[in-house]
Amino acid sequence: MNRPAVREFTAPDARVSPGEVLVPTELGHPVQGPLPSPAAPLVGGTLLRKGRRIGYAPAGRCADPAAGPEGEGGATVFVATCQRRDGTTAAVAAAASPADRLAVAAARSAVEEWSAVLRTRRLVAAGSPWCGGAKQALGSVRGAMTDRRTLHVYGELAAGPDAIGDLAERGAVFVRSLEEVPAGGTVVFPAHGVSPEVRGEAQARGLEIIDATCPLVAGVHAEARRFAERGDDIVVIGQPAHAATAGITGQAPGKTAVVSSPARAGALRAADPRRVSYLLQPGIPVEDSVPVAAALRSRFPALRDPHPDGFCYAASDRAQTIRVIASASDVMLVLGSADSPDSRHICALARGGGARTHVIARADDIAPAVLSGAGIIGLAESTSASPGLAGQVTSALSGLGPLSATTRRVTTDVVGGPDWRP
């Protein structure tokens, strides 16, 4: 689409204080009538970065300054328009008091910057960052809160900070020890599960237990017990600090080691090198385990494998989804906090796919330069992204020209696998 002209109008009914720039959420165009402005947060963000004080509100009817008395008074409004996917027209606009020359210049500049990047685009989103097990556990906690004033969540709940805060306001208490749970209390075991020792202690105390352990994690626990019962030493390929690790190693204490690299695997010792089995920690990409498993097999040629139907492919699928979207995108928007480890991980995956990458904590963080030359935009949520941010960004981008929004997700299905997979 051709770059639209930026037109100057007056809004007789709009009053903008000197020192402020009004970003219209809608306005009455003198020719095209009432127009929405979905991109208002983007224009507002540009003005904030310029150090301007802003406000959001409808601008009312607009008129040509040369239209005589009808075009006199009120605010000076700068407007660019574009077609949307549904054939309607949207406005990109900013307004200021005509008495404030600096604010007028800032308003014009912001609209001109955004008018330069109006075009047809395609948005490809990766979907939710949370796996089925995490969603199932969060749903269990929310459901339990409907008829309980207080419940205690043991350890970490895989959910965003807003969801955690909401549960805390409703009476959820997050604990690291069962000693923090009062007698007769309710305790939730989250998706990553717990060790038999913790479970036994809760049962011995007569606590009400809500078991939200991911079925895949529970399957790994069962396999660890089977390996231990047949006399094997167990190696867990995973991260020692991961929330799921303690629950797995606790199934066979004293017989389980955790390794995260081929070097560590090569240094392991076993009571009987002929009786060693390994497991994959749910939550890590399956492909990351391949070199570690190869090192283990080199060290222990009789190494016994886990059953592949029990592998958790959530992390693999998510990583591959990011790579696929990034490889087809001109720019990748990673939603969430810049200092979040998950945001940094997604950025690394996206850059590996060849896309320019930007972390976006709020919709107004998007600058015109980010979208310059970008016909295809990738979108990925980190676990630190605020609820609704993906929708807010999509809505804002829809005000910059025709936008086709799709979701693309790589999924792995275990054909004929156990029915306990989430």
Stated as kind and residue range, the H or E segment containing 370 is helix 368-371
Q: Is 169 helix (H, G, I), strand (E, B) or coil?
A: helix
Confidence of residue 3 (pLDDT cuts 50, 70, 90): low
- State yes or no: pLDDT of 222 exceeds 50: yes
Domain boundary among 213, 231, 258: 213
For residue 132, give every residue at least 6 positions away whose Cβ sits within 8 Å of its Cβ, in sequence order, or none. Answer: 214, 314, 422
Amino acid at 218: A
| Structure confidence at residue 416 (pLDDT) | 66
Q: What percent of the chain has pLDDT over 70?
A: 96
Residue 2 lies inside a defined structural domain of this protein: no
Tokens of 98: 């005509």
Range of the domain at 182: 132-213
For residue 332, give every residue at least 6 positions away whose Cβ sits within 8 Å of its Cβ, in sequence order, or none. Answer: 325, 326, 347, 350, 353, 355, 356, 357, 358, 377, 378, 379, 380
Write the pLDDT tens digit of every residue in 363-373.
999 999 999 99
Domain boundary among 213, 248, 272: 213
| Structure confidence at residue 13 (pLDDT) | 87
Tokens of 149: 């004033």
386 and 327 housed in the same domain: yes
Please give the backbone phi and psi of residue 280, each rounded to the nearest 5 degrees, phi first: -105, 130
Mean pLDDT for 208-230 is 95
Considering the chain, what is the average pLDDT of its residues? 93
112 and 61 housed in the same domain: yes
Alpha helices in 146-280 (DSSP H): 161-170, 196-204, 215-229, 245-249, 262-266
Mean pLDDT for 292-310 is 94
Nearest to 225 by CA among 306, 301, 291: 306
Pair 56, 44: CB distance under 8 Å? yes
Mean pLDDT for 376-382 is 97
- State yes or no: pLDDT of 66 exceeds 70: no
| Structure confidence at residue 131 (pLDDT) | 92
Nearest to 26 by CA among 81, 106, 66: 81
| Structure confidence at residue 420 (pLDDT) | 44
Alpha helices in 125-214 (DSSP H): 132-145, 161-170, 196-204
DSSP 278: E
Question: Rg (Cα) of the chain, in Å, rounded?
Answer: 28
CATH number at residue 391: 3.40.1010.20
Residue 419 lies inside a defined structural domain of this protein: no
139 and 167 housed in the same domain: yes
Mean pLDDT for 214-227 is 95
For residue 153, give every residue at least 6 positions away whose Cβ sits within 8 Å of its Cβ, in sequence order, or none. Answer: 141, 167, 172, 173, 174, 175, 187, 188, 190
Residue 412 lies inside a defined structural domain of this protein: no
CATH number at residue 191: 3.40.50.11270
| Structure confidence at residue 253 (pLDDT) | 92
Mean pLDDT for 44-68 is 89
Domain boundary among 166, 193, 213: 213
Residue 416 lies inside a defined structural domain of this protein: no
- State yes or no: pLDDT of 65 exceeds 90: no
The total number of structural domains that make up the chain: 4
HSE value, Cβ hemisphere, 13 Å, CA-based, for 408: 19
226 and 273 housed in the same domain: yes
Confidence of residue 74 (pLDDT cuts 50, 70, 90): confident
What is 308-329 written as a DSSP string?
Answer: GGG---HHHHHHHHHHHHHHT-
Tokens of 140: 């269990």
Residue 88 lies inside a defined structural domain of this protein: yes
Confidence of residue 161 (pLDDT cuts 50, 70, 90): confident
Name residue, tokens 């480890």.
341
| Structure confidence at residue 421 (pLDDT) | 46
Pairing of strands 233-237, 256-259: parallel
Nearest to 209 by CA among 178, 181, 187: 187
Write the pLDDT tens digit of every residue in 256-282.
999 999 999 988 999 999 999 999 999
21 and 96 housed in the same domain: yes
Pair 63, 9: CB distance under 8 Å? yes
Of 48-52, 66-70, 169-173, 198-202, the range with the lowest mean pLDDT is 66-70
DSSP 243: T
Q: Which region holds residue 18: left if phi is over 0, alpha if psi is between -120 and 50, else beta?
A: beta
Write the pLDDT tens digit of every residue in 129-138.
999 999 999 9
Angle at 224 between CA 223 and CA 225, to 5 degrees: 90
Pair 383, 340: CB distance under 8 Å? yes
Give dist(CA 356, CA 347) in Å, integer. Answer: 9
137 and 170 housed in the same domain: yes
For residue 258, give every residue at least 6 positions away whose Cβ sits within 8 Å of its Cβ, in sequence order, or none. Answer: 235, 236, 238, 239, 240, 245, 249, 281
Nearest to 306 by CA among 281, 270, 269, 284: 281
Residue 422 lies inside a defined structural domain of this protein: no
Q: Is 150 helix (H, G, I), strand (E, B) or coil?
A: coil
154 and 173 housed in the same domain: yes
Residue 414 lies inside a defined structural domain of this protein: no
| Structure confidence at residue 72 (pLDDT) | 58
